[in-house]
A and B are shown apart, each in its own frame.
Chain A
């Protein structure tokens, strides 16, 4: 028997090495490691450790099952999907809460009439009193981001009057008392009345997809919106979070109708049909942001996906409970899972995992049966960074989210 049995293997190991080991652990394991010993606790609790840990976490897509059986779920490429705290499963709870924005592992959630910032990993939350839902007007959150020069987190929203005749833009630095009005400035937009039109263009619906956050700017592509200047070319609306000004940008000209801007692992990407009547979907990625050059990435053909799916099902040794309920007909939406895999929605219902090499990998189902799922375009990058204490002002009397699970 080796006579070193029982000695602390970690003894005399330089702290940088222990750091290097622990930083590779998933969030929950890091939390548990804090209880192992004083040294492990201090190594895993420094701001540098926690920020680097977050940086290494993958950005995972969130889908909405609308309560059947679960509401918001994080999809992992390991196959183990996870219900997102604090959303409660069950159809009857589906409209109590709503995911409005996400950034750096923090979510902005509407629960009943109130807004909160939540960290679904550590289950911390902070109430945002400034955004309370009130009768007679709408608040549409259009952005949630970290302002790079100051490190502040800011919420950007459009206030709309009940009759939708008036709107204005507001920003709140989380942790501060008062929000502030943001004047809409955009080169080539001379009149203040254009401000209203632009804001209505960005968020025609409360459920409009979130912006793509790239290089300190927020990018929206009004899906189906009409460009205010009449120029169909420059259709992406961009908000520079540092200068707080708007501008327009051109999407790939090779895509025609039925297209959507989405986040491809931090880069701007578009999916769309290459020509009217085509069933294929082409994906273009912004290759060079300065020069505004888009590059073709790959093509998704529903008929080859269907063939791939048939092959997979025919050769699959796994027991299949559900029968094939419908063939793949038309493409509805997609999000990126990782460098090689996509989640694609077909027929406005079926969600597949698909490898960009052309292989069907499996269905995504939140429960036993296939219900409609929404690819929210929100993403979660797990974070164990604690919520700053000064964010918790205006505490409400009864915290609505218990840390042991749901509301």
Chain B
């Protein structure tokens, strides 16, 4: 992947310095807080949202504004896309990258989920949702509520009824 030297804008990913290649044109993304990110079109196309915009010719020279995604999260999503586009076949490497990638605080993980949903990056969504599911497994109801800050909106009678209906899950 070629990285063009741009004037002061962030170039995320790639790292190889080579001549500008027709096939790895760059696209500029703007986060909600105005930070600028240069990404290859290939990596950007992992986002179906951006991919459709590129196909429909909605991307002008300025770039794509993403008012729903903050800079720190966008940087992470771009890192994910760059990595997956770079070596899609090296399964072991990708697996350990993914494991490290999702090893973040829950708040961040959910922000990534929201961003991946808005940007429609299927693989990232799947990875993050799987991670959240894994953190739910084998936990008690109280632990789950505590972990995610969920308020119990059942009356004691309602909750008792539900536990009784699903008794098989509580043994």
Contact between B152 and A37 (Cβ–Cβ < 8 Å)? yes
Contact between A10 and B148 (Cβ–Cβ < 8 Å)? yes
In the assembled complex, A14 has its CB within 8 A of some CB on chain B: yes
Contact between A25 and B137 (Cβ–Cβ < 8 Å)? yes
Contact between A34 and B113 (Cβ–Cβ < 8 Å)? no
User: Secondary structure at chain A's binding surface: helix, strand, loop or mixed?
Assistant: loop
Contact between A37 and B130 (Cβ–Cβ < 8 Å)? no
Contact between A25 and B136 (Cβ–Cβ < 8 Å)? yes
Task: Select from chain B the residue with minimum beta-carbon distance to A30.
Answer: B169
**CB interface residues, A 99-134, toward B, < 8 Å:** 121-123
Contact between B136 and A31 (Cβ–Cβ < 8 Å)? no
In the assembled complex, B65 has its CB within 8 A of some CB on chain A: no
In the assembled complex, B76 has its CB within 8 A of some CB on chain A: no
Contact between B170 and A26 (Cβ–Cβ < 8 Å)? no
**CB interface residues, A 36-64, toward B, < 8 Å:** 36-38, 40-41
**A22-B136, A34-B169, A35-B163 known, 18 other contacts, Cβ within 8 Å:** A4-B107, A8-B148, A8-B150, A10-B148, A17-B113, A17-B117, A24-B129, A24-B130, A25-B133, A26-B137, A27-B169, A29-B139, A31-B168, A32-B140, A32-B141, A33-B141, A35-B159, A41-B162
Contact between A122 and B110 (Cβ–Cβ < 8 Å)? no
Contact between B152 and A28 (Cβ–Cβ < 8 Å)? no
In the assembled complex, A403 has its CB within 8 A of some CB on chain B: yes
**Binary CB contact string for chain B from 124 to 168 against chain A (1 if under 8 A, 0 otherwise):** 010001101100111111001100111111100001001101111
User: Secondary structure at chain B's binding surface: helix, strand, loop or mixed?
Assistant: helix
Question: Which residues of A line the B interface, CB within 8 A?
Answer: 2, 4-10, 13-14, 17, 20-22, 24-38, 40-41, 121-123, 403-404
Q: Tell me which residues across on chain A come within 8 A of B110, comparing CB atoms.
A: 9-10, 13
Contact between A32 and B154 (Cβ–Cβ < 8 Å)? no
Compute how far the CA of A121 lies from the CA of B170 in the bound complex, rounded to whole angstroms.
12
Contact between A403 and B106 (Cβ–Cβ < 8 Å)? no
Compute how far the CA of A37 lies from the CA of B152 in the bound complex, rounded to whole angstroms.
5
Given contacts A24-B130, A24-B133, A29-B137, contact A38 B154 (CB under 8 A): yes
Task: Select from chain B the residue with minimum beta-carbon distance to A39.
Answer: B153
Compute how far the CA of A28 lies from the CA of B159 in the bound complex, rounded to whole angstroms.
17
**CB interface residues, B 98-119, toward A, < 8 Å:** 105-107, 110, 113-114, 117
Compute how far the CA of A199 lies from the CA of B163 in the bound complex, rounded to whole angstroms.
47
Compute how far the CA of A37 lies from the CA of B148 in the bound complex, rounded to whole angstroms.
12
Q: Which of A4, A10, A35, A37 contacts B166 (CB under 8 A)?
A: A35
Q: How many A-B residue pairs have CB under 8 A?
A: 98
Given contacts A20-B125, A35-B159, A36-B144, contact A8 B136 (CB under 8 A): no
Compute how far the CA of A122 lies from the CA of B164 in the bound complex, rounded to whole angstroms.
12
Q: Tell me which residues across on chain B come within 8 A of A34, comparing CB atoms.
A: 162, 165-166, 169
Task: Select from chain A the residue with minimum beta-carbon distance to B109.
Answer: A9
Name the distance in Å between A286's Cβ and chain B's nearest Cβ. Answer: 30
Question: Which residues of B line the A interface, CB within 8 A?
Answer: 105-107, 110, 113-114, 117, 125, 129-130, 132-133, 136-141, 144-145, 148-154, 159, 162-163, 165-171
Q: Tell me which residues across on chain B come within 8 A of A404, comparing CB atoms.
A: 167, 171
Compute how far the CA of A28 lies from the CA of B151 in the bound complex, rounded to whole angstroms.
21
Q: Tell me which residues across on chain B come within 8 A of A33, comparing CB atoms.
A: 136, 141, 144
Compute how far the CA of A25 lies from the CA of B145 in the bound complex, rounded to whole angstroms.
16
Q: Tell me which residues across on chain B come within 8 A of A7, comparing CB atoms.
A: 149
Task: Select from chain A the residue with minimum beta-carbon distance to B140.
Answer: A32
Name the distance in Å between B104's Cβ and chain A's nearest Cβ. Answer: 12
Contact between B171 and A21 (Cβ–Cβ < 8 Å)? no
Name the distance in Å between B132's Cβ and chain A's nearest Cβ. Answer: 5
Contact between A37 and B151 (Cβ–Cβ < 8 Å)? yes
Contact between A403 and B168 (Cβ–Cβ < 8 Å)? yes
Q: Tell me which residues across on chain B come within 8 A of A8, comparing CB atoms.
A: 148-151
Name the distance in Å between B38's Cβ and chain A's nearest Cβ. Answer: 29
Given contacts A21-B132, A24-B133, A41-B162, contact A13 B113 (CB under 8 A): yes
Name the distance in Å between B60's Cβ and chain A's nearest Cβ. Answer: 29
Q: Which of B130, B152, B153, B169 contacts A31 (CB under 8 A)?
A: B169
Compute how far the CA of A10 lies from the CA of B151 in the bound complex, rounded to whole angstroms.
10
Compute how far the CA of A30 lies from the CA of B137 in the bound complex, rounded to whole angstroms.
9
Contact between A31 and B170 (Cβ–Cβ < 8 Å)? yes
A-B pairs, 7 with minimum CB distance: A31-B169, A24-B133, A31-B166, A8-B149, A9-B148, A28-B169, A21-B129
Q: Chain B CB within 10 Å — which of A6, A35, A37 has the most?
A: A35
Q: Which of B107, B144, B154 contacts A2 (CB under 8 A)?
A: B107
Contact between A122 and B168 (Cβ–Cβ < 8 Å)? yes
Compute how far the CA of A110 lies from the CA of B161 in the bound complex, rounded to whole angstroms.
31
Name the distance in Å between B111's Cβ and chain A's nearest Cβ. Answer: 10
Contact between B153 and A37 (Cβ–Cβ < 8 Å)? yes
Compute how far the CA of A298 lies from the CA of B171 in the bound complex, rounded to whole angstroms.
42
Q: Tell me which residues across on chain B come within 8 A of A20, comparing CB atoms.
A: 125, 129
Name the distance in Å between B167's Cβ and chain A's nearest Cβ. Answer: 6
Q: Tell me which residues across on chain A come within 8 A of B149, comparing CB atoms.
A: 5-9
Name the distance in Å between A210's Cβ and chain B's nearest Cβ. Answer: 25
Q: Tell me which residues across on chain B come within 8 A of A6, comparing CB atoms.
A: 149
